[in-house]
Structure 1
């Protein structure tokens, strides 16, 4: 493939940025190919809020489009590393850096990744393939939606054909009632109210003689 063809193909890629704190990825940004410059600052209103990096001015021109991809400007206190075609990151040689006064920049071409490091922070930059990923994700999502719809529609039909019959439901209800009665009898036995009360004896049922009232003219001597 000619250099001109590669340049034309690179123009269709955006810029993908990932911010890591140690090994934890904290932020992700993706910029469309139409955005020719990416500005960074320690401000949420900026296109790329870049906290923790030493920036000479704000907003700081972090990247701009070129014919081959992107030109990435390195903050003065940062170390820049490159990974080619998935290899491990290695420091960018001095010969591959471009200097313009106090500014240092590095070319980011396709299949390469750059990493800017300062302290525990690391900013990864690579070409974005959002368009290709979006198409593949869209087809995959349609497949999942179709499978979910088929499963959802199959549930009522399966219930009608595989659901319990009237006889099985009656047997289940009978077992439930029997178990409830057994639990009730066990509870009554535990409380001691499962035996009938002792009958009252005939002597206890005789009427009491009561208290007789003496006439007023009678006395006790």
Structure 2
């Protein structure tokens, strides 16, 4: 019996992903989770979407709001709006797809669609971010692999501590090596006669000791030394 596949998440359950391009260079990117109901834009770094270069009728400007079917994108009055479906190029959005009064138009962001707002050299791309679908790909098998890798990573230092050198054995070996060196030094001192302490001379030894002043030589009186 085939296992039923999990239902894929829709745009209504996902978030919103935005990219701002200056020409062909990516300048900024923002991602908003599915718990957010509205996204406001303003030329301010503290705004939810800091948007510079677009003409906005008010600040902050309601750029996107969640609907039961996904997201509704409000188009700035001086911007041109284009759409792209999967595998296709950008095309202008038709008047029948726009809602609202002139200067206050909006367009629905559907699944598989990317909208592009263009004003001058700026391009703001908006597309749905289906988080649940991406998270569903992380299966139980992946978790098992992560656990296996973690166990192997943590077992290496434990194995070194268990199977590595015994500290007590290393201390005994060091003590044995020091004792052997000490015994060799004692044998060398004994062979040189340095193992016995020196004794002070007695009075008799001092009396019989003669100072070595050399051989006495008689020099004639006529012998001169220069």
Query: How far apart are residue 137 of structure 1 and its match?
Result: 5.9
Residues 61-84 of structure 1, C-alpha deviations (whole Å, 9 max, x = no match): 101112221111111121110012
Is 2:47 aligned against 1:31? no
TM-score normalised by length of structure 2: 0.57
1:51-66 alignment, distance < 5 Å: 51-66=52-67
With 147-156 and 38-47 compared, the bigger mean Cα shift is at: 147-156
Provide the aligned C-alpha RMSD in A.
3.1
Query: How far apart are residue 138 of structure 1 and its match?
Result: 8.4
- CA separation of 1:101 and 1:24: change in aligned 2, threshold 3 A: closer
- CA separation of 1:143 and 1:81: change in aligned 2, threshold 3 A: farther
| Count of residue pairs brought into register by the alignment | 156
Query: How far apart are residue 100 of structure 1 and its match?
Result: 2.4
- CA separation of 1:148 and 1:16: change in aligned 2, threshold 3 A: same
- CA separation of 1:38 and 1:138: change in aligned 2, threshold 3 A: farther
- CA separation of 1:11 and 1:145: change in aligned 2, threshold 3 A: same
Gapped runs of 5+ residues in structure 1?
1-5, 158-212, 215-221
What residue in structure 1 maps to residue 113 of structure 2? Answer: 112
Is 2:94 aligned against 1:93? yes
Provide the C-alpha distance between the structure 1 equivalents of 2:129 and 2:158, rounded to a whole number of angstroms.
Answer: 44
With 109-118 and 22-31 compared, the bigger mean Cα shift is at: 22-31
Q: Larger Cα Rg: Structure 1 or Structure 2? A: 2
SS at 2:96 equivalent: helix
What residue in structure 2 maps to residue 18 of structure 1? Answer: 19
Provide the C-alpha distance between the structure 2 equivalents of 1:68 and 1:118, rounded to a whole number of angstroms.
Answer: 27
TM-score normalised by length of structure 1: 0.59
SS at 2:100 equivalent: strand
Gapped runs of 5+ residues in structure 2?
1-6, 160-224
- CA separation of 1:153 and 1:23: change in aligned 2, threshold 3 A: farther
Residues 159-201 of structure 1, C-alpha deviations (whole Å, 9 max, x = no match): xxxxxxxxxxxxxxxxxxxxxxxxxxxxxxxxxxxxxxxxxxx
What residue in structure 1 maps to residue 76 of structure 2? Answer: 75
Query: How far apart are residue 152 of structure 1 and its match?
Result: 7.7
